Structure 1
């Protein structure tokens, strides 16, 4: 017999049991990242639906009831004009930051019990939606497998929001990675450029570099049009570090004694998750510093540590694909309403697929890096 229990805070969860389900699927579903979301937007109501079989956690999903998501890319009213009444509460399922939600199901469940578990999770979500959000729940940034699980409860088709990029690491050495990319010359050219800078790469806990990473992150954010201060970014990283239990590591580019660039990463399951980068652009030396910190150093660490994947997140598809990434879709689906017609979803998904392919280098092998049978079906 399966039973539902809803928790009002991450710290009320059995964090070990939750993370045993979450870590293999996504760092962004682990309790550390969920705790960070709680702390960053205290006006939202966080609830964590858990499903137990005897004394074993077999399924779970986080929910966030909010009038104003902190991240504009989770603001349903802006993303889907007309789909949400002005000023109404929105029930987000999966997360409010990170762009990678997953339904947590124990892999040991057989098909029948998985179906039962999904029915109970959806029923609980929709009960909460009826009470607080006009009967509608919004499932944002979920993967193909999650959409297949959810579609029996949906009255329309899902829509692609973004492409998610990751490099699956073949073999057991950096040389195997080079061979698989088909871009050995370019990557080795990047490596030589970095060597000529005289800089070194060090891997340090985020807690040791909070001040300098805040300063460098603010420089990168400002460069791309976001008005932030070094102190605000240092504070954000401090909250993130505390919430995630000091598990973040920084790949830092050191110019003699000073850090001039960094990539912040986390590990969960068999994957390294690149989270943020920051640079002092005036001190860079045209040495492929971004690719060194964001790609090559984490990949080398992955091979040394037995990790098998580097997650790179959304956007900048060309650069990521040229270094071995595949692109999979992240979907939006509303339950309890029909915010768009199926034909509109198909048209939207086809346009997104064409736009994504157009952003890639020419050639069939790069086009094949957009790997999703569901995207093809729903476009």
Structure 2
């Protein structure tokens, strides 16, 4: 069987089941639904590289020719020392800080390499057309060495990804896996939150994008990133629409007003934390962050049969203290090596 490489402009032209058969191990941020929701972002032009063996899709990658990048954590010259700002082609996921080339799990090693080479070729060729430099950012540790070898370049570590594995079937099983001192601390933090008297609500994102956007803007401001509440609310509304309102918002209310929230998605066997925000002037000092970001999502994960809570980068000490395991994330650049299609 001959490998054929094609580029398409609309992921809607790729059957979701076929794409997600490749993307399932990579997680939410390379899923068909997430990529479709990101597709109309005006800051980049997107193409989808598809590698078929006869009529079977065996490898894929979104390719973004970036016109302007609002997120500094996706600007290569801000991430990697001694890089001159140039136009960039980002291969793979452009949002979510977790990335991998999508390859069929049942390929033989030789065929897997041939399919991966085709994705590298697609990124290199499209970058050349647009006078851009191709980069794969935030590549998972399991895929980084293989991809760097296919690209003929070295990888650069950008950070670490964190997720909490959830053993057993109850929150008690999660606690039992932690050291005794940490179990005591978590019980104390959960008790303080329960005694604070918040009204807890579970909402759809479309129901609360405006107040959540205002709290998200406060979080951004607190961390030195000025943000317009109306703009943040619009981003959340757009996300709700693009994701068919599948996000789950856990919100704490005080005197009828939202003062804290977390937003997550249930995807495959994992709960994916996406956003959180706080009205710092109205919080009651009851470990709101730890409860809304860790403990309540963990309860939800168990209730829906999930086996992990994905937390992403940053605040790694807080995450590892609560049972997270971490793995490196890498940047891989370069033109790659061009090869002819092979046979399966």
Shared fold (TM-score greater than 0.5)?
A: yes
What corresponds to 2:340 in structure 1? Answer: none
Per mean C-alpha deviation after superposition, the further-off stretch among 277-286 and 11-20 is 11-20
CA positional deviation for 1:176: 1.0
CA positional deviation for 1:148: 2.5
CA offsets 1:206-237 (integer angstroms, 9 cap, x no match): 11111211121112122222222221111010
What corresponds to 2:88 in structure 1? Answer: 90
What corresponds to 1:137 in structure 2? Answer: 134
What corresponds to 2:228 in structure 1? Answer: 229
- Secondary structure of the corresponding residue to residue 254 of structure 1: strand
8 Å contact from structure 2 (residues 116, 150) kept in 1: no
Q: Does 1:299 align with 2:298?
A: yes
CA positional deviation for 1:39: 2.9
CA offsets 1:109-158 (integer angstroms, 9 cap, x no match): 23232122112222222222232235x42111001121122132244321
- Unaligned ranges ≥5, structure 2: 337-344
What corresponds to 2:342 in structure 1? Answer: none
What corresponds to 1:61 in structure 2? Answer: 61
- Secondary structure of the corresponding residue to residue 61 of structure 2: strand
- Secondary structure of the corresponding residue to residue 110 of structure 2: helix
Aligned residues: 333
- Call closer, same or farther: CA 1:320–1:81 in 2, change over 3 Å: closer
CA distance in 1, matches of 2:194, 2:81: 50
TM-score, with length taken from structure 1: 0.83
- Secondary structure of the corresponding residue to residue 140 of structure 1: strand
Corresponding residue to 1:181 among 175, 178, 182: 178
- Call closer, same or farther: CA 1:304–1:267 in 2, change over 3 Å: same
Higher relative contact order structure (alpha carbons within 8 Å, sequence separation ≥ 6) = 2
8 Å contact from structure 2 (residues 59, 102) kept in 1: yes
- Secondary structure of the corresponding residue to residue 181 of structure 1: coil
8 Å contact from structure 1 (residues 25, 102) kept in 2: yes
Moved runs in structure 1, 4+ residues, more than 4 A?
none
Q: Does 1:102 align with 2:90?
A: no
What corresponds to 1:259 in structure 2? Answer: 258
Give the aligned CA root-mean-square deviation in angstroms: 1.9
8 Å contact from structure 1 (residues 164, 313) kept in 2: yes
CA distance in 2, matches of 1:269, 1:25: 10
CA offsets 1:341-372 (integer angstroms, 9 cap, x no match): xxxxxxxxxxxxxxxxxxxxxxxxxxxxxxxx
- Secondary structure of the corresponding residue to residue 282 of structure 1: coil
CA offsets 1:175-212 (integer angstroms, 9 cap, x no match): 11001122210100011101111124332211111121
CA positional deviation for 1:160: 0.4
What corresponds to 1:38 in structure 2? Answer: 39
- Unaligned ranges ≥5, structure 1: 338-379
- Secondary structure of the corresponding residue to residue 135 of structure 2: strand
What corresponds to 1:113 in structure 2? Answer: 111
CA positional deviation for 1:65: 0.7
CA positional deviation for 1:8: 1.2
8 Å contact from structure 2 (residues 99, 139) kept in 1: yes
8 Å contact from structure 1 (residues 25, 269) kept in 2: no
Q: Does 1:126 align with 2:124?
A: yes
